[in-house]
């Protein structure tokens, strides 16, 4: 019953509850060049490696459906961190170093002084009871995927179901990362969500996207959360970014991104309702992120270059009643979910050739002119 629900729309599925994970990698599904391999990290965390030949993604099916690492377009695209493998824990900072984490749903961000919760809520390392590998085809082509089901129930407070879905496509360095959250409780569910997609920050990388880099539309965080310790010059640098956020548009080593710089910004969309962002490398290739902000509203950018960590979150989709949200300059709000109602979000992540990056850069500039 569970597998039939998770595999809706797919042509083949493997229930991961019946798979024997071990230190030795074992192919558990193959369809042409698309494969799924099961293994267990030395830390004891179970993993599935999806591959389309040149590209591969490692997902932790029972721990947050966390995307631990990814290799797309011939390079490792995930952040550099202090962790060589995931740890079996629900504590955010004790296993933080993956390529992508779902964050929320009851809270995101750092906990307040009176809150007893993990950074970014319960989803990042949630324990999944059900997980599966899927194979199918959609409008973007043939894919191999990982999905699962997590039920978060707290008496008198919360009862929801989260179903993520990550797809790796055949013949292209492209993945989609989606999630559907359903409120199972008779009272409304206020959704807090953030898609924490952490690309490797590249020296000389240029950040371009469908946003206006003005102080009004792109607001740097000026307060200091408890988990970071600013160094010399940091406060002065943040003050400059508050006046001109475009100064953070190129990742070069003489700029202060230690320990981190965070922006909240108002995304712009094209006529199809999508926002687009790139980190353009010096060689002309690009890392690419896209999503539809109608489902979320706000967006965030996170840059962290400490030596131990090298990461750039070009654009995180954010949904939270605590964040003022504007899309194309218009305020956007979301009501809490009633019983049986759903929240969905999907992020596209890809690596572009120079020609593809040039074409997308022109599209981004056209959107910015249209939404000026």
Query: With 90 as the cut, is the pLDDT of residue 370 above it?
Result: yes
| DSSP states along 32-59 | TTEEEEEEE-TTS-EEEEEESSS-EEEE
pTM of the entire structure?
Answer: 0.95
| Per-chain mean pLDDT for the chain | 95
Name all domains of the chain by residue range, CATH numbers in brackets. 1-185 (2.70.98.10), 196-332+349-372 (2.70.98.10)
For the chain, helix (H) and strand (E) counts, in that order, are 3, 24
Query: With 60 as the cut, is the pLDDT of residue 295 above it?
Result: yes
Q: Output the CA–CA distances (angstroms, integers) from residue 161 to 8, 339, 358, in the order listed.
A: 16, 11, 40
Classify residue 63 by its DSSP letter.
B
Quote the tokens at residue 339: 């019983």
Query: With 50 as the cut, is the pLDDT of residue 1 above it?
Result: no
The answer to whether the beta carbons of residues 127 and 62 sit under 8 Å apart is yes
Query: With 80 as the cut, is the pLDDT of residue 28 above it?
Result: yes
Q: What is the pLDDT of residue 82?
A: 96
Q: Model confidence over 272-290: pLDDT tens digits?
A: 999 999 999 999 999 999 9
Q: Output the CA–CA distances (angstroms, integers) from residue 340 to 5, 48, 105, 276, 343, in the order listed.
A: 16, 31, 16, 31, 10
Segment 190-215 shows an average pLDDT of 98
Q: Model confidence over 152-163: pLDDT tens digits?
A: 999 999 999 999
Q: Model confidence over 110-128: pLDDT tens digits?
A: 888 878 889 999 999 999 9
Segment 173-187 shows an average pLDDT of 98
Q: Model confidence over 44-87: pLDDT tens digits?
A: 999 999 999 999 999 999 999 999 999 999 999 999 999 999 99
Range from 6-20, 33-47, 85-99, 295-309 carrying the lowest mean pLDDT: 6-20
Q: How much of the chain exceeds pLDDT 70, in percent? A: 99
Segment 305-320 shows an average pLDDT of 96
CA-wise closest residue to 245 among 259, 231, 266, 230: 266
Range from 54-58, 96-100, 107-111 carrying the lowest mean pLDDT: 107-111
- Sorted by sequence, the CB contacts under 8 Å of residue 138 that are 6+ apart come out as 9, 167
pLDDT bin (cut points 50, 70, 90) of residue 27 is very high
Range from 112-121, 129-138, 331-340 carrying the lowest mean pLDDT: 112-121
Q: What is the pLDDT of residue 8?
A: 75
The answer to whether the beta carbons of residues 314 and 199 sit under 8 Å apart is yes
Q: Model confidence over 348-362: pLDDT tens digits?
A: 999 999 999 999 999
In sign, the C-alpha dihedral spanning 16, 20, 23, 29 is negative
The 3-state DSSP class for residue 255 equals coil
Classify residue 64 by its DSSP letter.
T
Segment 183-203 shows an average pLDDT of 98
Query: With 60 as the cut, is the pLDDT of residue 258 above it?
Result: yes
Beta bridge partners of 49: 37, 58
The answer to whether the beta carbons of residues 59 and 65 sit under 8 Å apart is yes
Query: With 70 as the cut, is the pLDDT of residue 368 above it?
Result: yes
């Amino acid at each position: 019953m569970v597998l039939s629900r998770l595999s809706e729309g797919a042509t083949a599925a493997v229930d991961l509850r019946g798979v024997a994970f071990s230190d030795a990698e074992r192919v558990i599904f193959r369809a042409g060049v698309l494969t799924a391999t099961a293994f267990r990290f030395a830390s004891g965390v179970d993993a599935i490696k999806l591959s389309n030949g040149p590209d591969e993604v490692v997902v932790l099916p029972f721990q947050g459906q966390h995307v631990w690492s990814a290799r797309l377009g011939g390079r490792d695209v995930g952040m550099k961190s202090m962790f060589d493998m995931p740890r079996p824990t629900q504590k955010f900072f004790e296993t933080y170093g993956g390529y992508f984490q779902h964050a929320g749903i009851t809270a995101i961000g750092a906990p307040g002084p009176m809150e007893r919760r993990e950074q970014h809520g319960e989803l990042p390392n949630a324990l999944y009871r059900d997980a599966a590998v899927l194979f199918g085809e959609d409008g973007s082509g043939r894919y191999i995927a990982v999905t699962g089901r997590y039920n978060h129930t707290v008496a008198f407070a919360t009862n929801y179901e989260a179903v993520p879905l990550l797809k790796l496509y055949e013949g292209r360095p492209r993945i989609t990362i989606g999630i559907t959250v359903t409120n199972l409780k008779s009272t409304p569910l206020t959704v807090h969500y953030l898609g924490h997609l952490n690309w490797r920050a590249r020296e000389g990388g240029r950040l371009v996207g469908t946003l206006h880099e003005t102080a009004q539309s792109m607001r740097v965080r000026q307060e200091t959360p408890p988990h970071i310790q600013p160094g010399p010059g940091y406060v002065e640098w943040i003050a400059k970014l508050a006046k001109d956020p475009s100064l953070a548009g190129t990742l070069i080593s003489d700029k202060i991104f230690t320990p981190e710089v965070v922006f909240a910004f108002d995304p712009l969309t094209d006529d199809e309702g999508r926002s687009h962002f790139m980190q353009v490398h010096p060689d002309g290739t690009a890392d690419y992120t896209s999503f539809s902000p109608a489902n979320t509203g706000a967006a965030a950018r996170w840059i962290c270059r400490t030596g131990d960590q090298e990461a750039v979150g070009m654009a995180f989709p954010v949904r939270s009643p605590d964040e003022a949200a504007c899309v194309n300059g218009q305020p956007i709000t979301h009501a809490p979910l009633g019983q049986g109602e759903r929240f969905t979000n999907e992020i596209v992540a890809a690596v572009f050739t120079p020609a593809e990056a040039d074409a997308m850069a022109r599209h981004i500039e056209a959107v910015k002119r249209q939404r000026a």
